[in-house]
């Protein structure tokens, strides 16, 4: 079974990945989102890590590692060795710099690469994490197959991601911008579990964290309101449509309240 979405825009897979990587490398996004580029922030990452049975000698892969927040938290709190891979060379460089600044350069290595073609051999990781990114991958089945391939038997995958019922999303949340904002190609939790199952990964825990999504929408709105007073031209140059933003944020908040949009945590295991 493939998991194509009727709302997918006509852009090719490579174009979508490049657009997403460019957007999440921009300073405007850093201003709007802060350190962790996902709802729930580092608190949810800690909860995810609790489900992964991490020990100090574990080797962990963070897929779509962004600026390194998740990987560095895991290396720092759990003493593990972490590889991070991200499509954006700018994010890879920033993450490696952050690792050095935190004194974790010997246990955290960041590489530019594609989640659908991971640049690692088979069965080398004890755990794989992926936060707020599976929703953006054009070929989710292929990415899940790659998670499974690089994971050792008995290893665990931890995912936090945007959830959506695609057919019920309002028009404001289905275009290319919404796709890059992790919404337009997000799936319901059960469909993520199905994608993982098809890759040989059995889901052992699913949790909903929809309130984290609302908090992120509130945060973006508050920061936009502040920045529109002080940095309107930087926002427009960075691709933020200040006119459209209030309606999009209101539609997103309504969609969460209606149960159409949310955020979820999944833990899955590769059979031993
Ligand atoms: C919403 S951010 C999440 C970053 C990080 N996981 C976090 O939670 O802070 C999405 C990230 O996915 C990366 N990305 C998008 N498509 C990718 C792909 N095909 N392979 C690897 N990384 C990808 C982007 O460059 C961006 O850094």
Structural domain boundaries, residue 131: 13-27+37-213+261-270
- Say how far residue 184 (Cα) sits from the centre of its chain: 14
Q: Which of 32, 33, 66 to mutate to test the pocket of ligand 1 (most atoms within 8 A of CB)?
A: 66
Residue 252 lies in a domain: no
Residue 99 lies in a domain: yes
The predicted-structure confidence for 29-69, as pLDDT tens digits, reads as follows 888 888 889 999 999 999 999 999 999 999 999 999 999 99
What is the band of 178 on the pLDDT scale with cuts at 50, 70, 90? confident
Residue 229 lies in a domain: no
Residue 246 lies in a domain: no
How far does residue 234's CA lie from ligand 1's centre (Å)? 23
Q: Which of 147-161, 168-182, 243-257 has the highest mean pLDDT?
A: 147-161
Residue 240 lies in a domain: no
Alpha helix positions (H), the chain:
13-23, 27-33, 41-50, 69-78, 89-101, 140-150, 176-180, 189-198, 210-230, 232-237, 245-257
Nearest-CA residue for atom 17 of ligand 1: 87
What CATH number has the domain bearing residue 175? 3.40.50.150
Instruction: Give how many domains the chain has, as a whole number.
Output: 1
Ligand 1 pocket (Cβ < 6 Å) reads: 17, 20-21, 24, 36-38, 64-66, 69-70, 86-88, 91, 114-116, 131-133, 136-137, 182
Lowest mean pLDDT among 120-129, 164-173, 174-183, 185-194: 174-183
Nearest-CA residue for atom 7 of ligand 1: 37
Residue 221 lies in a domain: no
Residue 218 lies in a domain: no
How far does residue 21's CA lie from ligand 1's centre (Å)? 6
How far does residue 67's CA lie from ligand 1's centre (Å)? 9
Whole-number Cα distances in Å, 199 to 36, 68, 85, 186, 196: 27, 26, 20, 18, 5
Residue 122 lies in a domain: yes
């Amino acid at each position: 079974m493939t998991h194509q979405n009727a709302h997918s825009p006509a852009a090719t897979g490579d174009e979508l990945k490049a657009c997403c990587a460019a957007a999440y490398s921009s300073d405007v996004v850093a201003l709007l989102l802060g350190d962790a580029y996902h709802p729930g922030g580092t608190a949810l990452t800690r909860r995810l890590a609790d489900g992964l049975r991490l020990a100090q000698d574990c080797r962990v892969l963070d897929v779509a590692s962004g600026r390194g927040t998740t990987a560095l938290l895991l290396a720092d709190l759990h003493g593990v060795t972490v590889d991070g891979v991200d499509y954006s060379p700018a994010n890879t460089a920033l993450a490696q710099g952050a690792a050095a600044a935190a004194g974790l350069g010997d246990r955290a290595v960041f590489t530019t690469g594609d989640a659908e073609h991971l640049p690692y051999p088979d069965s080398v990781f004890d755990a794989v994490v992926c936060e707020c990114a599976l929703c953006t991958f054009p070929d989710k089945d292929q990415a899940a197959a790659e998670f499974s391939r690089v994971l050792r038997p008995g290893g665990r995958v931890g995912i936090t991601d945007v959830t959506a019922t695609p057919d019920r999303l309002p028009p404001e949340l289905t275009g290319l911008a919404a796709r890059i904002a992790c919404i337009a190609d997000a799936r319901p939790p059960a469909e993520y579990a199905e994608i993982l199952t098809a890759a040989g990964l059995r889901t052992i825990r699913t949790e909903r964290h929809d309130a984290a999504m609302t908090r992120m929408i509130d945060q973006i709105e508050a920061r936009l309101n502040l920045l529109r007073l002080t940095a309107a031209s930087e926002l427009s140059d960075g691709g933020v449509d200040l006119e459209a933003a209030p309606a999009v944020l209101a539609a997103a908040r309504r969609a969460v309240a209606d149960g159409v949009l949310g955020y979820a945590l999944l833990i899955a295991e590769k059979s031993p």
